[in-house]
Copies of this chain bind each other. A is one copy, B any other.
Amino acid sequence: MKRAALVESILHKKSYLCTGIDPEVNKLPIHFPKHPDSLIEFNRNIIEATLPCSVAYKLNTAFFEQYGAKGWEILEQTKSFIPKNTFSIADAKRGDIGNTSSMYAKAFFDHMDFDAVTVAPYMGEDSLRPFLEFKDKWIICLALTSNTGSKDFQHLEFNQKRLFETVIETVCKWGNPDNLMFVTGATQASELSNIRKIIPEHFLLVPGVGAQGGTVDEVSTHGANDQIGLLVNSSRGILYAGNGEDYAQKASNAAKELQSQMQTWVEKLS
């Protein structure tokens, strides 16, 4: 998907919500059989219920891989429920030496036709380049993550810059705002203002709203640019909004609640 189409979708839906599909069998609504196959119906209904409010879906590969090859089948089926005009992200955090990263790029871009894949920067340029060679596809590079462990290495400082700032500055030279986004956690929203000074144009994928503690307003205050430039992710807050037969309606309501907070910000643009 091209950047213009993503921006258009944000303006149209008045939303920059990314719904995270991180399904767990033991958290399914109580009437579902506790079996991985149940995830297919659950995921399809969640996607259908949240589609009016979501401009993107992020499928975390770990939640599928725990079931091995069967889980990958469910991942592929779930991907097929996301309409082509809606931005799809494989949250896979991959990265390897050049010839190996190109296999991961084939897996997610060719075989499964995701629009974007999250990548880890530790192995440097040749580990990210193969992903950037795909037309109208995106990488979303880990920069400042939402977890407590983000302080262990990402905040290390050299030459008055922290590692995540150096990662952003360096990776920016390899891609551009049309094929490169960064992961910046909502739990460190005040950092978003500094990050915007380095990359005013790039989209930021912001996890950590909801269960992890961040809010739409904090993230948007510090992180929005003149095209919004944000995809704010919520996973557990939407997926498990209800655990009865009305789970899809509850998920829809949770998505609508976040969308309505975002609408204010989108309407400020015009």
Contacts and interface: CB of A to CB of B under 8 A. Distances in A.
Interface of A: 22, 60, 62-63, 65-73, 75-76, 93-98, 100-101, 103-104, 106-107, 110-112, 120-128, 142, 145-154, 156-158, 163, 166-167, 170
Contacts of A120: 93, 95, 120, 122-123
Copies in the complex: 2
14 contacts: A65-B107, A66-B110, A68-B72, A68-B111, A68-B112, A72-B72, A93-B94, A97-B145, A122-B153, A124-B150, A124-B153, A127-B149, A128-B149, A153-B167
Contact of A122 (B98, B101, B106, B154): B154
Given A65-B104, A153-B163, A163-B153, A95 B94 contact: no
Contact of A142 (B122, B125, B151, B154): B122
Given A96-B93, A124-B148, A73 B69 contact: yes
Nearest to A125: B149
Contact of A123 (B76, B123, B149): B149
A103 B147 contact: no
B152 A124 contact: yes
A127 B147 contact: yes
B166 A156 contact: yes
Nearest to A103: B62
A163 B159 CA distance: 13
A153 B121 contact: yes
B68 A124 contact: no
A96 to B, nearest CB: 6
Contacts of A151: 124
A227 to B, nearest CB: 28
A166 B122 CA distance: 13
Contacts of A124: 147-154
A88 B115 CA distance: 33
B167 A147 contact: no
Contacts of A149: 97-98, 123-128
A70 B107 CA distance: 11
A100 B62 CA distance: 6
